[in-house]
Amino acid sequence: MLQRAPSVQQFWTKNRDLFKDAWTDWESSEGREHVLDSSLFDPQLRSAVEQAWDDPTKEAAVRELWKEVFPGVYATQFFDPQRLAALRDYLDEVSSADIPLRPPYGIVLNRGGALLDPRSEGYLAAPSFQAFYKELMDSYMRPVSRLLFPDVVGYDTQTFGFSIRWQENKDTSLRPHTDASAVTLNINLNLPGEDFSGSAVSFYDNETRQVSKLTFEPGTALIHHGSVPHASEPITSGERYNFVLWLYGENGRIPTQGAEHKEIDARQRWTVPAASSDNFAPF
C-alpha cells in the first residue's frame, strides 16, 4: 500500500472489481447505506444551494455565505457540526473494514487518509459514499467554484478527492506547495470538542509576500485556486481530519493565470458538465 512499484499498481488494477464488490457487501450488510445524506451539509448552505438549483438567479445567497479570509481564499461553514459524528463514524468503520484502501501519497505520505474518487486505484467504492461524494462535487463544489472563480469554467469537468489525517508524531505536516487543480476545497471533519493544536494552513501571497495562518473549526471549509501557495503547519497535539477535493479539466488541464475567462450566466453555472471521466489521476 505504501510503495509505487509496478507490482503494486498491478495489485490495485487486478483486484479493482473485487474491492468494489467488497465495499458494496460491507455497506449493505450493516445498513450503512442510509447514513450519508444531504442533512450532513450546513443547513444555511444547503438551503441556499437548493434554492439556487431551483432558481439560479438567487445564487447571491450562496455567494454571501463565503467570506474572503485571504486574497483569493474563501471560507464558510460547510458541514453541520451536529451531524459530523455520522460521517466520522462511517469513516472510522471504513478504516476498520479490512478492505484495502490506497493512501494518498502523491505529495507526501499520509497513511491515515484514503482516495475518494473512482478514477483512483484503491478508492473508497462504497455505493452510498460515492453517491454522497458525487452530490458534494456536482451540487456544491462546482457551482460554488464557478461563482467565486469565473476563470475555472471549462477547467472543472473532472473531479479528484482524498482524505487526510494529521497526527502528532506520525503524519504531521505538508511543506509549501501548489495543487495540480483549478480549484481546491478543503473541508474539516473534526467533531465539536475534538481539539488539536498547530496544523494551521498557511497561505502565501506572491505579490505582497503576505503570509496568513488559517485554522479550522469543525465542519468549516476553505476554497481557493490550486495555484495559491499553501502549507499545512505541523500538528503538535491531537488529530486533524479533512477532505481535500479538486476540480480540473480533461487530462489535468488548469486555467492559466491572468488569461481571459469565459463569461457564463447564472443558469449555466448551475449545471453538471456532460463530459465523462477521463480516468486521469494526479497521483
Could you read off the pLDDT tens digit of each residue along the chain, which spans 283 residues?
Answer: 666 778 888 999 999 999 999 999 999 987 777 789 999 999 999 999 999 999 999 999 999 999 999 999 999 999 999 999 999 999 999 999 999 999 887 656 677 889 999 999 999 999 999 999 999 999 999 999 999 999 999 999 999 999 998 887 776 667 889 999 999 999 999 999 999 988 899 999 888 888 899 999 999 999 999 999 999 888 889 999 999 999 999 999 999 877 777 789 999 999 999 988 898 888 8
- Read off the pTM: 0.94
Secondary structure tally for the chain: helices H, strands E? 8, 12
Cell of 112: 491515515
What is residue 160's three-state secondary structure?
strand
Could you state, in order of their start, the residue ranges of all structural domains in the chain? 8-269
251 phi, psi to nearest 5 deg: 60, 35
What b/e readout covers 198-225, taking b as 16+ CB neighbours within 10 angstroms?
bbbbebbeeeeeeeeebebebbbbbbbb
Concatenated DSSP letters of 221-245: EEEEETTS-EEEPPEEESEEEEEEE
One CATH from 3.20.20.70, 3.30.930.10, 3.40.50.10540, 2.60.120.620 for 8-269: 2.60.120.620
- Sequence-ordered alpha helix ranges (H) in the chain: 6-14, 16-29, 43-54, 60-63, 84-95, 127-135, 142-148, 266-269
Any idea which residue has 444555511 for its cell? 44
